[in-house]
């Protein structure tokens, strides 16, 4: 390729193409760095490569907030999640399960149950990084579409990045809760009637 004066030109198109490809990647890396600096990423630890399931007959909580965020695993992969944060929560007939596939052995299930016999599971400053949630829910004093960086009804640190969608409420009541998640954090987590089992095969809460 030659310029207007007949002189050879080398590398110009390649450098422009390189810049066009590099700028979005650099912007994305910078945004991730800002998110890390501001504590906007969800879990404070690298999550495992397995999601787990949680079910409960009922969940009641005071100080509810929900917003989008990102978890990371040990490989540095980014995993989008919906963070549900509750100041104080009570759950009846809690079940938690995770299935691991091992070579030769096959599926191994870890099942945990608690909150039976009329004494609920209790948690404070509860954060669940979920990818799926279902049930029958009711709220009081709900605000839908609030900026995630301005949330103030949930736990003190329950805020997302500026301009992102979020919702919050004075309290929440969910029956027939079904949830799939990457991580759970809590200030305190009291499991009354705790029972844990490991067994062969796939045995999930739902």
How confident is the model over 57-69, as pLDDT tens digits?
999 999 999 999 9
What are residue 156's phi and psi, to 5 degrees? -55, -40
78 found inside a domain: yes
131 found inside a domain: yes
47 secondary structure, DSSP code: B
Average pLDDT, whole number, for the chain? 87
28 found inside a domain: no
26 found inside a domain: no
125 found inside a domain: yes
Query: What domain range is 81 assigned to?
Result: 52-200
19 found inside a domain: no
Label residue 42 by pLDDT band (50, 70, 90).
confident
For residues 20-35, average pLDDT: 48
Closest CA to 204 of 184, 182, 178, 166: 178
In this predicted structure, the answer to whether residue 23 has a pLDDT above a threshold of 60 is no
CA distance 197 to 97: 10
> Going by C-beta distance under 8 Å and a sequence separation of 6 or more, which residues neighbour residue 102?
108
For residues 110-138, average pLDDT: 97
Note whether 72 and 45 are within 8 A (CB). Answer: no
- Beta strand residue intervals within the chain, DSSP E: 52-72, 78-92, 94-102, 106-114, 121-140, 143-147, 165-185, 188-190, 195-200
Which letter, b or e, does each residue of 72-109 get, where b requires 16 or more Cβ atoms within 10 Å of its Cβ? beeeeeebebbbbbbbbbbbbbbbbbbbeeeeeeeebb
Q: Which of 18-27, 149-158, 163-172 has the lowest mean pLDDT?
A: 18-27
> Going by C-beta distance under 8 Å and a sequence separation of 6 or more, which residues neighbour residue 181?
51, 52, 53, 54, 81, 128, 129, 130, 131
Q: How many domains does the chain have?
A: 1
| N residues, the chain | 206
70 found inside a domain: yes
Report CA 117 to chain centroid distance, whole Å: 30
Q: How far lies 108's CA from each of 47, 195, 199, 203, in Å? A: 19, 17, 6, 8
Q: For 179-197, write each residue's pLDDT tens digit.
A: 999 999 999 999 999 999 9
């Amino acid at each position: 390729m030659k310029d207007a004066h007949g002189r050879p030109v080398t590398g110009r198109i390649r450098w422009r193409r390189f810049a066009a490809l590099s700028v979005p990647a650099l912007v994305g890396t910078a945004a991730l760095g800002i998110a890390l600096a501001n504590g906007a990423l969800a879990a404070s630890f690298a999550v495992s490569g397995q999601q787990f399931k949680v079910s409960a007959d009922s969940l009641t909580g005071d100080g509810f907030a929900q917003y989008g965020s990102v978890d990371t695993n040990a490989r540095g992969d980014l995993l989008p999640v919906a963070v549900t944060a509750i100041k104080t929560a009570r759950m009846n007939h809690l079940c938690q399960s995770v299935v691991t596939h091992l070579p030769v052995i096959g599926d191994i299930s870890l099942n945990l149950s608690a909150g039976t016999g009329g004494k609920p599971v209790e948690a404070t400053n509860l954060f669940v990084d979920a990818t799926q949630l279902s049930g029958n829910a009711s709220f009081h004093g709900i605000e839908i579409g609030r900026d995630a960086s301005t949330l103030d009804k949930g736990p003190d640190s329950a805020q997302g990045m500026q301009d992102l969608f979020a919702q919050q409420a004075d309290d929440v009541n969910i029956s027939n809760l079904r949830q799939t998640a990457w991580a759970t954090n809590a200030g305190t987590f009291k499991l009354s009637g705790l029972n844990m089992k490991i067994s062969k095969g796939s045995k999930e809460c739902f």
